[in-house]
């Protein structure tokens, strides 16, 4: 359930849009707002106008470029324009702020990269308007900026204590009685974003616990927002963090049907767009290696050469004599790779760089004790897998119990007996082997999950494709028509449909056999694809009947398309044995009218026109205008 701002305890100010963005937000709350009014407001801010035009052209995907603000708003829709104006306004205002621990530029770099990833992957999945989801992706973490603005001092402390996004949210709830996801959802609701998009954003950091039915649109959106957020993490990640992100991205990409090569291509293109948008928005977008290079990079601590052997051991002791003797025993006598540190603080740095499998630390040290070091390691995700052996001269039960509660795996009394140390290390080696076996099994499961996702994607494609003609099938075509109808409703652009029927097809089947009929259908399907415009969608409804959905086409344009197709088919000659068959089609044309309430009405009008074309002698196009027929030949 999404909380409103009134139900979230807040003390400081929150980020809010200003200038043209605020005026657009207020205008969009009125029922009588027009596109012309939104365009007039946008033109008062040249930077905003330019950004809207650029976003519309990014979404145009090769179509006629948008050159005016009005055209951009018509293309994007007022809801998307409102959301984009919000995001751009907040970026301009918050390149810096009072929270010292909050990386403002890094936040926007991640948000922008994630937004572009959301735009790209949502377009591939066909799950919603890519431009609208770009804007939602840009604002999907705005609660973090809000908390940094409202609580600059306390939030800086929380950021310093958190070592993962999930941990940050927990600390936020404990200290501030809300978290950035909850606050993001409340702000987006306050700004007028639809709940159908806000709810997936609310749950996107933990998609497995989201309360959505598997396969539903909110379920898919939640996972796409999660994938986009993880891609956004590449914006500020150091090399070691990137190495940890890559396997997760490969798995998440597999779930939407992308193998490693396809995912690399998409992410590299997203990064290029990110760098272009970064210049436009004054957001730092640094150079990143190609995704394939990231995937090929060795994980930290695992780049062992063939000549290296033994366990990776970090030895921590403030006494230089004890440290040197024990390091020699571990390295020269027992054959392990040893890195030493003289304090707990130095040990934390060494652990991050060396990624040891085993940490052997003295308990009593000045500054950070061995017990404090253990707690610090266990608090970090990368330190939870290390085997920690504590060296101590203490043997009281309460001391030993405290050590185990702090996360120590085993302890050894001082002075160290080499035989006892060897035995302890044997147990540690067994633990390391089990852990590595578990990680290999986990990697295999991830590969299996990715392969399964790809197989499911292929099955989905097969379920939506006509096997004979390789056109979209009836189910896919009608879904495309519903989406086109919804888009035309939002934008006010015209929409037309062509119903095509192969003339005398039964005679062909009866006289020359079904193989000849199949050949004819394939030839007509190829002609459909050749005659259709780039944005048109052609599908086979069944039998000898086809449907073409003409986006942004009025009745005159649709008639031209129908005649172009009819004449193309009339010029075909299909070789069947020693005969060359002449073909023709009849076409019914209809455009969306004010009286039509749904896509079925458009199809019914086109079907009526098709019936008229066949009754008028076939090999002609026929249109319906408010129920009246008119044919062309």
pLDDT at 556 over 80: yes
Same domain, 199 and 55: yes
Same domain, 431 and 562: no
When the pLDDT of each residue in the chain is averaged and rounded to a whole number, the result is 84
Q: Give the CA distances from residue 366 to residues 87, 320, 346, 363, in Å, rounded to whole numbers and listed in that order.
A: 50, 14, 12, 10
Give, rounded to a whole angstrom, the gap between the first and last alpha carbons of the chain. 59
- At 1 the pLDDT is 65
Tell me the mean pLDDT in the region 621-631. Answer: 81
- At 64 the pLDDT is 67
Question: How would residue 315 be classed by pLDDT, with cut points 50, 70 and 90?
Answer: very high
Same domain, 363 and 485: no
Query: What's the residue count for the chain?
Result: 633
pLDDT in tens, 26-78: 888 777 778 888 888 888 877 787 788 887 776 555 556 777 778 888 877 88
Same domain, 510 and 416: no
Catalytic residue among 544, 563, 593, 615: 544
Residue 463 within any structural domain of the chain: no
pLDDT in tens, 502-537: 999 988 888 888 888 899 999 999 998 888 888 889
Helices (H) and strands (E) in the chain, counts: 26, 13
Tell me the mean pLDDT in the region 393-398. Answer: 70
pLDDT at 299 over 50: no
Q: 408, 436, 464: which is the final residue of a domain?
A: 436
Tell me the mean pLDDT in the region 233-259. Answer: 81
Smallest CA-to-CA distance from 132 within 65, 66, 85, 64 is with: 85
Q: How many domains does the chain have?
A: 3
Residues 6+ apart with CB under 8 A from 401: none
pLDDT at 306 over 80: no
Smallest CA-to-CA distance from 586 within 507, 504, 517 is with: 504
Interstrand relation of 585-591 and 621-625 (parallel, antiparallel or unpaired): parallel
pLDDT at 302 over 70: no
Judged by average pLDDT, the poorest of 233-247, 297-311, 365-379 is 297-311
Same domain, 533 and 624: yes
Residues 6+ apart with CB under 8 A from 507: none
User: Taking the CA of residue 210 as centre, how many other CA atoms within 13 Å lie in the half-sphere pointing to its CB?
Assistant: 28
Residue 467 within any structural domain of the chain: no
- At 231 the pLDDT is 93
Residue 468 within any structural domain of the chain: no
Q: What is the CATH number of the domain that holds 483?
A: 3.30.70.270
User: Taking the CA of residue 612 as centre, how many other CA atoms within 13 Å lie in the half-sphere pointing to its CB?
Assistant: 21
Burial bucket for residue 386 (CB in 10 Å: 0-12, 13-18, 19+)? buried
Asked if residues 6 and 187 have their Cβ atoms less than 8 Å apart, the reply is no
pLDDT at 300 over 70: no
Asked if residues 315 and 338 have their Cβ atoms less than 8 Å apart, the reply is yes
State how far Cα 503 lies from the chain centre: 46
Q: Is position 544 annotated as part of the catalytic site?
A: yes
Helix (H) or strand (E) holding 576: strand 573-576
Q: What is the CATH number of the domain that holds 320?
A: 3.40.50.2300
In this structure, what DSSP letter does residue 591 have?
E
Q: What is the CATH number of the domain that holds 56?
A: 1.10.3210.10
Same domain, 417 and 496: no
The secondary structure of 469-484 as a DSSP string is T-SB-HHHHHHHHHHH
Biggest alpha carbon–alpha carbon distance for the chain: 105
CB atoms within 10 A of CB 48: 23
Question: How would residue 304 be classed by pLDDT, with cut points 50, 70 and 90?
Answer: very low
Same domain, 40 and 182: yes
Q: 296, 324, 352: which is the final residue of a domain?
A: 296
Q: 266, 296, 326: which is the final residue of a domain?
A: 296
Same domain, 422 and 491: no
Smallest CA-to-CA distance from 172 within 245, 92, 86, 102 is with: 102
Q: Tell me: cis bond preceding 415? Omega within 30 of 0 counts.
A: yes
Asked if residues 22 and 152 have their Cβ atoms less than 8 Å apart, the reply is no
pLDDT at 287 over 60: yes
Tell me the mean pLDDT in the region 253-281. Answer: 85
Nearest-angstrom CA–CA distance, 132 and 123: 11
Backbone angles phi, psi at 314, to 5 degrees: -105, 120
- At 573 the pLDDT is 86
Residue 175 within any structural domain of the chain: yes
Residue 528 within any structural domain of the chain: yes
Asked if residues 246 and 443 have their Cβ atoms less than 8 Å apart, the reply is no
Smallest CA-to-CA distance from 354 within 346, 363, 362 is with: 346
Output the CA torsion 146→148→153→158 (10° steps).
110
Residue 454 within any structural domain of the chain: no
Which three-class secondary structure string do you get for 245-312?
HHHHHHHHHHHCCCCHHHHHHHHHHHHHHHHHHHHHHCCCCCCCCCHHHHHHCCCCCCCCCCCCCCCE
Range(s) of the domain holding residue 551: 474-632
Same domain, 85 and 135: yes
Residue 46 within any structural domain of the chain: yes
pTM to 2 decimal places: 0.50
The secondary structure of 162-198 as a DSSP string is -SSHHHHHHHHHHHHSS-HHHHHHHHHHHTT--HHHH
* Core vs surface per residue 4-34: b (16+ CB within 10 A) or e: eeeebebeeebbbbeebbebbbebbeeeebe
Same domain, 110 and 216: yes
Q: Is the dihedral of CA 182, 185, 187, 190 positive or negative?
A: negative
- At 480 the pLDDT is 92
Same domain, 416 and 495: no
- At 264 the pLDDT is 86
Tell me the mean pLDDT in the region 369-385. Answer: 85
Quote the percentage of the chain above a pLDDT of 90.
Answer: 26
- At 503 the pLDDT is 92
Question: How would residue 164 be classed by pLDDT, with cut points 50, 70 and 90?
Answer: low
- At 333 the pLDDT is 76
Same domain, 389 and 272: no
Residue 244 within any structural domain of the chain: yes
Asked if residues 124 and 256 have their Cβ atoms less than 8 Å apart, the reply is yes
């Amino acid at each position: 359930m999404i909380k409103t701002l009134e139900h979230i305890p807040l003390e400081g100010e929150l980020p809010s849009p200003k200038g043209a963005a605020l005026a657009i937000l207020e205008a969009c709350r009125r029922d009588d707002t027009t596109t012309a009014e939104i365009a007039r407001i946008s033109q008062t801010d040249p930077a905003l106008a330019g950004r809207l035009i650029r976003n519309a052209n990014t979404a145009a995907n090769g179509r006629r470029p948008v050159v005016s603000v009005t055209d951009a708003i018509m293309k994007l829709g007022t809801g998307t324009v409102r959301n984009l104006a919000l995001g751009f306004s907040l970026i301009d205002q918050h390149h810096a702020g009072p929270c010292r621990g909050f990386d403002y530029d890094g936040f926007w770099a991640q948000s922008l990269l994630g937004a572009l990833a959301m735009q790209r992957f949502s377009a591939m999945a066909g799950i919603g308007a890519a431009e609208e989801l770009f804007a939602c992706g840009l604002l999907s973490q705005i609660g973090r900026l809000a908390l940094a603005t409202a609580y600059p001092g306390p939030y800086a402390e929380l950021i310093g204590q958190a070592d993962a996004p999930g941990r940050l949210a927990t600390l936020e709830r404990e200290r501030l009685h809300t978290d950035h996801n909850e606050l993001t959802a409340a702000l987006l609701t306050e700004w007028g974003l639809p709940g159908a998009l806000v709810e997936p954003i609310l749950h996107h950091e933990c998609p497995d616990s989201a309360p959505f039915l598997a396969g539903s649109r909110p379920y898919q959106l939640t996972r796409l927002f999660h994938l986009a957020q993880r891609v956004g993490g590449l914006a500020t990640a150091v090399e070691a963090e990137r190495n940890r992100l890559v396997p997760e991205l490969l798995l998440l990409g597999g779930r939407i049907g992308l193998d490693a090569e396809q995912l690399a291509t998409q992410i590299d293109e997203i990064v290029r767009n990110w760098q272009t948008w970064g210049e436009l928005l004054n957001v730092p977008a640094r150079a990143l290696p190609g995704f394939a290079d990231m995937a090929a990079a060795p994980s930290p601590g695992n780049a062992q050469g063939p000549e290296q052997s033994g366990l990776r051991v970090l030895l921590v002791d403030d006494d230089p004599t004890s440290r040197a003797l024990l390091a020699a025993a571990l390295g020269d006598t027992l054959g392990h790779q040893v890195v030493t540190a003289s304090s707990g603080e130095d040990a934390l740095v060494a652990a991050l760089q060396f990624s040891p499998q085993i940490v052997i630390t003295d308990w009593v040290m000045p500054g950070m004790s061995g017990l404090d070091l253990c707690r610090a390691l266990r608090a970090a995700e990368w330190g939870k897998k290390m085997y920690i052996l504590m060296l101590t001269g203490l043997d009281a039960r309460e001391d030993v119990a405290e050590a185990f509660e702090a996360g120590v795996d085993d302890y050894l009394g001082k002075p160290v007996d080499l035989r006892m140390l060897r035995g302890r290390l044997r147990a540690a080696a067994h633990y390391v082997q089990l852990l590595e076996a578990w990680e290999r099994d986990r990697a295999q499961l991830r590969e299996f999950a990715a392969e399964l996702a790809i197989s499911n994607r292929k099955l989905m494609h097969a379920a939506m494709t006509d096997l004979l003609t390789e056109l979209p099938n009836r189910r896919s075509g009608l879904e495309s028509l519903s989406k086109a109808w919804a888009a035309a409703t939002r934008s006010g652009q015209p929409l037309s449909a062509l119903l095509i029927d192969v003339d005398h097809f039964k005679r062909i089947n009866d006289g020359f056999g079904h193989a000849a009929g199949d050949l004819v259908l394939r030839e007509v399907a190829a002609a459909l694809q050749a005659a259709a415009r780039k944005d048109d969608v052609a599908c086979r409804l069944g039998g000898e009947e086809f449907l073409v959905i003409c986006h942004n086409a009025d009745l005159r344009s649709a008639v031209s398309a129908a005649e172009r197709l009819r004449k193309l088919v009339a010029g075909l000659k299909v070789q069947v044995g020693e005969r060359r068959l002449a073909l023709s089609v009849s076409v019914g044309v209809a455009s969306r009218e004010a009286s039509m309430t749904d896509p079925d009405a458009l199809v019914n009008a086109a079907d009526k026109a098709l019936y008229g074309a066949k009754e008028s002698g076939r090999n002609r196009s026929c249109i319906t205008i408010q129920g009246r027929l008119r044919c062309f030949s």
